[in-house]
Amino acid sequence: MRFPKDAEIKYIERCIALSSHTVEIKDRTVYGDGDVFYDSSTSLFIDTQVYTKDYTDPGIYPRFAVNQDNYGPVTVPQNHCFKRGDNRDNSFDSRYWGFVPFESVVAKPVYIYWSREKNRIGTSIE
């Protein structure tokens, strides 16, 4: 996809919701339309603190969505998707820059170029 803050930059994030889907995060668990979203085994949390709904993160978009660990619910607008990074605590993703227009999605990754898990490098992405 083209990075929302600079269209010249190519950026890879997981698409976790499409148009009209509702996304909510409760204590780091992601829900899509009310159902638990399978969180990849490659997802990484490095911060031991879970931010409660009492904490409002000024960088979160939209403002009412609260923070990275307790987010939403938000409904993805038409012709947009919601992107999320695997490094959950340090990912600059749709929680911060909003929904991604479909026209900004330019390709699908075909294999893993780099991973902390060395045995995943070079594997195909299904």
Q: What pLDDT, on the 0 to 100 scale, is given for residue 41?
A: 62
Give kind and range of the element (H or E) at residue 96: helix 94-97
Written as one letter, the residue type at 1 is M
Whole-angstrom distance, CA of residue 29 vs CA of residue 11: 24
102 confidence band (pLDDT: 50, 70, 90): very high
Write the pLDDT tens digit of every residue in 47-100: 777 888 888 888 888 888 898 889 999 999 999 999 988 777 777 889 888 999
Residue % of the chain over a pLDDT of 70: 94
Tokens of 4: 């929302």
Q: Which domains, from first to last, does the chain contain?
A: 2-120 (2.10.109.10)
Write the pLDDT tens digit of every residue in 3-13: 777 778 777 78
Which residues lie across from 74 on neighbouring strands? 23
Q: What pLDDT, on the 0 to 100 scale, is given for residue 82?
A: 94
CB 71 within 8 A of CB 24: yes
Whole-angstrom distance, CA of residue 7 vs CA of residue 33: 30
